[in-house]
Amino acid sequence: MVLGWTFSGGAERVEIIATGNITIPNTVGPEGITWPVGATIGTNDFFPLEEASVEAGGLVLPRSVGTPIDLIGALMAAFIPENLYSASSFFSRDEDLVSSGENGIASSALFFVGAGPLIFEASEAGRLYFGVNDTYVANNHGQFTTTVNAVPVPSALFLFSSGIFALLGMQLLRKKTHTVAPVTDGIG
């Protein structure tokens, strides 16, 4: 996985948008494709975005031949808290593939990004890594171009807009004219 964004503290938000294609051997966009279990995918095979479900017992293997698997080749991400990625023993790859005494990315940290736009909010300092939902990326060709932009946090936006509305309200009160009732002379 590759580094995509570093968060310095809590309540930071980013918008993620991706374009491009990869070949795995079929051409795939960031949303991935659906592929049936069969000739190229074994009945006991699973992909990174499915790994946490397999480990929790939610996805039971083996699958039947012909069972469709979604999101193959899709753009995915993982948020890694600062205390994990700052350790010298951290490597930005699957925790099942690192050596003893090393730390990798847990399957529970993975999530689907696709083409977006996707708003992601980090509640603590950390890093966002991007990768492809494929078990063997060495045969992939092409690229996804990912754009990550900071997004204002809703509470900051609320405070800002509240202040603007208060200023507008005070301005309207100053401009308000008072209506005076007509004077009558008492003749009826």
Domain boundaries, the chain: 2-152
- Neighbour tally for 4: CB within 10 Å: 19
Q: Is the pLDDT of residue 119 over 90?
A: yes
DSSP state of 26: S
Average model confidence (pLDDT) across the chain: 85
The distance of Cα 176 from the centroid of its chain, to the nearest Å, equals 48
Give 24: exposed, middle or buried? Use CB within 10 Å, 0-12, 13-18, 19+. Answer: buried
Provide, for the chain, the percentages of residues in helix, strand and coil under a 3-state DSSP scheme, each rounded to the nearest 5.
Answer: 25, 35, 40
172 pLDDT more than 70: no
Compute the average pLDDT of residues 178-182: 53
Of the listed ranges 120-129, 134-143, 146-155, 173-182, the one predicted with least confidence: 173-182
pLDDT band at 188 (very low <50, low <70, confident <90, very high): low
CATH 3.30.420.40 is held by the domain 2-152: no
| pTM score of the predicted model | 0.78
